[in-house]
Structure 1
Amino acid sequence: MTLAFMTTPLIGLTDTAIVGQSGEAAPLGGLAIGAIIFDFVFVSCNFLRAATTGLVAQSAGRGDVGEEQTIFWRALILALGIGIIFVLLAQWITGAGLAFMEPSADVRAAAETYTAIRFLSAPAALANYTILGFVLGRGEARLGLGLQVVINGANIALSLYLGVVLGWGIAGVAWGTVAAECIGAVCGFAIIVGRFSRQSRQGWLSLFDRKALVALMALNRDIMIRSLSLLTAFALFTRTGAQFGPVTLAANAVLLNFFMIAGFYLDGLATASEQIVGRSIGALHRPAFDKAIRLTVMWGFALSGIAAAFFLLAGPALIDIVTTAPEVREAARIYLPWAALTGLAGVLAFQMDGVFIGATWSRDMRNMMVLSLIAFVAMVWFVVPMAGNHGLWAAFNLFLGLRGISLYLLIPRRALATFRQ
């Protein structure tokens, strides 16, 4: 799954590189803002993946194959319904996001073009969340890798073809993503449903079991609040950077891709935590729970240290590849050290998310995220006016670190209560 998630930030780098070939800062800024608006809505629905992973993993730990299938259908129906609503509300959502960001006219035009197209992928994209969640909950890492490679590989290839070969620019990047999401959804659905056991089927009425629905909605609510808080931090980061002008906005957009590379890399280890922790709790087997935490945290810090060193050394060359604008290159180099350290600052944040999702301890995850967001807002309010964009990056690193440490400190008490049952 580390390999699978590492293909995802390549999309951001590819999209940024395609748009960056114009040599202008405005299209890059429009892509950054458009992506934030899109992600704010779609990643807030990450509960479709996370809740599915945790619940399926626990069912697998209990050996309940029928419940695994029922969880998938519940989540898929919910995903398609939410996706259709997003398509209908796309214009309003985009307008609200741009009103919050307050970009310049040329940046606004680029962002509107991007989001108007990408929102058409909503039903397929959210279906892919559910499909991936089911696969991860069952611990089928190779299948998860295959599906992610199909989606992300198609995305990169189509974006390059439409954006560069046909010269569609930012619109081509968006259409490439829409097509790739649809391809992935069809492939994933066919594979999963084709393997379902008829003997274990619980029947359609089981989809509407009141107790299971209440538990699912509570879990989804907490994870959604957690995701919205996370995206609020990213949106505030982008909006604050935009106040420093289009060059700083574009430089931050370039550097955030480095964080996304480290982030998705760590997400592979977090996914291992989700699956193993979920199964250990389903089977009430404490040794597997403890080992999952110990190994993923150890490897997370080791690999993040390597990634930080790589970005510090190779960062200037990567910046030059991503953008041709001289002023954006110069600004990105100034803030590169902050971006290189985000992986280390976020190790525990990623790993603890995996643990708490697998354990379905969603309330704690929600509360600690909100606490960390408050600290981030305070830093932006009081420190950024004095330290500028350096203060913004410092606040972002603090936000990541506080979220992970606060959750880590809660584990002993929560584990003791869970494994006493």
Structure 2
Amino acid sequence: MPITTQDREILRLALPAFGALVAEPLFLIADYAIVGHGLGTTAVGALSVAGTVLSTLVYLCVFLAYGTTASVARQIGAGNHTRAMRSGVDGMWLAFAIGVALIVICWPLAPAMVALFGAAAEQSAEAVTYLRISLLGTPGMLVVLAGTGVLRGMQDTRTPLAVAIGSFALNAVLNAWFVLGLHWGIAGSAWGTVLAQTIGAAVYLRVVVRGARRAGVSLAPGLSGIMQAGTAGLALLIRTVCLRIVLLVATAMATRLGTAELAAHAIATQLWTLLALALDAIAIAGQAITGRSLGAGDTEGTRAATRRMVWWGLWSGVVLALVVVAGRPFFPGIFDADPQVTAELLDVLWVVALFQPVSGIVFVLDGVLIGAGDQRYLAWAGVWTTLAYLPVALVAGDLVVLWLALGVWMIARLITLGGRAYGTRWLVTGG
């Protein structure tokens, strides 16, 4: 099938988005390498515990990017750049307020949060140190999320890619300097992360402030706009919590199955996550394109773009499935898996490959409905699909069945999202 103008627009948005999504895990690997080389195993364990807490907090706040993308893109499509920048400014104020609240709430709770992981005393002490320092960077981290949403809504995914690469490269340099050069210990790694996040946030602030001044928009917080962004964000938060519950239950059930099963599950989950980043890039394009076209009142264009992005999602999933099948004999060796883990992993990878095409369509439809501002439906769909998943997961007697339960979840999402996209209730036009 020939590449159309619409395809070029999808790729223009999706490819830089994919680069930005992949940049973070690659530079996190560098952080682990620096800490492991300079401080040893105990510090790596502490970094893992504190990092898990921080990543969970950020994961739950991803609505700041998604909600802002949808609202800004809709106003851009409607030709109202002033309201677009107003939405962007309010979204960034909301992000800053949530970041400050997380510091106030999580700082005294840091020891209790770390204790949930059952780490040894020395690891726990270092994890608390890392977590408390890193919390100081959460306002910047969340402002980056909101700023990313503003630029995506303005149909710009290249600037977020540049900021992501710059921020994570700076993070790696600062970590190396503070940990290996100045010998600040694990606190040095945390301070490097805080400074990199804050500088990244400053870049987004500069871009948004410049755009707001051009549009004649006040930089003062607008209470009604912040409340509106928070209301939309609450629905997306419910959706995100449902996604997190599915992943947590899967890990808990794998733990009950045995050590080899848990190790194989961890490897398969990492691979699934990497594949999801590729598919999520198309979903980000879907958010931006859908919001803009509905803002312009173009329902037929929205339908056409959705069909084309579903096509891209489907065939991207097929390609990724073939990659998994082709790489299946080699993945266990990459992770130095023992024979029992290898046997479990080889079986599970068939399931991972099987559901990639379904995942491709689901990710696109999820992005399209987020771009349409259909957050309330997505929240309810998240609840119902989680309820469809839990009974199968909780009776899983082996790892393959547990991953088939994840497949049931993906099919349930395909049904709920596909049914909604086929209808017309989400096609709300205008600013």
TM, length-normalised to structure 2: 0.80
Tell me what 1:405 maps to: 415
Aligned in 2, Cα 1:289/1:149: closer, same or farther, shift over 3 Å? same
> Do the aligned partners of 1:163 and 1:169 also contact (CA within 8 Å) in 2?
yes
Tell me what 1:44 maps to: 60
* Within-5 A mapping of 1:163-174: none
* Within-5 A mapping of 1:192-341: 192-198=208-214, 200-203=215-218, 207-208=222-223, 210=224, 212-244=225-257, 248-314=261-327, 317=330, 320-321=333-334, 323=335, 330=342, 333-334=345-346, 335-341=348-354
Per mean C-alpha deviation after superposition, the further-off stretch among 399-408 and 336-345 is 336-345
State yes or no: 1:130 paired with 2:140.
no
Q: Partners of 2:44 and 2:343 in 1: how far apart? A: 14
Q: Partners of 1:295 and 1:277 in 2: how far apart? A: 12
- Out of 347, 354, 360, the residue aligned to residue 373 of structure 2 is 360
Tell me what 2:393 maps to: 380
Aligned in 2, Cα 1:144/1:287: closer, same or farther, shift over 3 Å? farther
Tell me what 2:10 maps to: none
Render the CA deviation track for 1:144-172: whole Å, top value 9, x for unaligned: 22122223333455556767888999777
Q: Partners of 2:269 and 2:244 in 1: how far apart? A: 13
Render the CA deviation track for 1:371-400: whole Å, top value 9, x for unaligned: 1112222222222xx22x333322223323
Q: Partners of 1:314 and 1:77 in 2: how far apart? A: 45
After TM superposition, give the deviation of residue 41 of structure 1 in Å. 2.0
> Do the aligned partners of 2:212 and 2:219 also contact (CA within 8 Å) in 1?
no
Tell me what 2:382 maps to: 369
Aligned in 2, Cα 1:174/1:348: closer, same or farther, shift over 3 Å? farther
Identity of aligned residues (%): 25
Per mean C-alpha deviation after superposition, the further-off stretch among 174-183 and 281-290 is 174-183
**Secondary structure class of the residue paired with 2:423:** helix
> Do the aligned partners of 1:69 and 1:201 also contact (CA within 8 Å) in 2?
no
Q: Partners of 2:333 and 2:42 in 1: how far apart? A: 17
Q: Partners of 2:233 and 2:185 in 1: how far apart? A: 36
Report how many residues are paired.
Answer: 412
Q: Partners of 1:103 and 1:115 in 2: how far apart? A: 16
* Within-5 A mapping of 1:106-125: 109=124, 115-125=131-141
2:415 partner amino acid:
I
Q: Partners of 2:228 and 2:272 in 1: how far apart? A: 34
Per mean C-alpha deviation after superposition, the further-off stretch among 233-242 and 333-342 is 333-342
- Out of 62, 66, 76, the residue aligned to residue 92 of structure 2 is 76
Render the CA deviation track for 1:195-239: whole Å, top value 9, x for unaligned: 4344x324467823x4x4553332111111111221222222333
Q: Partners of 1:21 and 1:337 in 2: how far apart? A: 36
Gaps of 5+ in 1: none
TM, length-normalised to structure 1: 0.82
Q: Partners of 2:41 and 2:353 in 1: how far apart? A: 22
Render the CA deviation track for 1:89-137: whole Å, top value 9, x for unaligned: 225655665676x656489748656544543321111000111000000
> Do the aligned partners of 1:364 and 1:407 also contact (CA within 8 Å) in 2?
no
Aligned in 2, Cα 1:342/1:220: closer, same or farther, shift over 3 Å? same
Gaps of 5+ in 2: 1-16
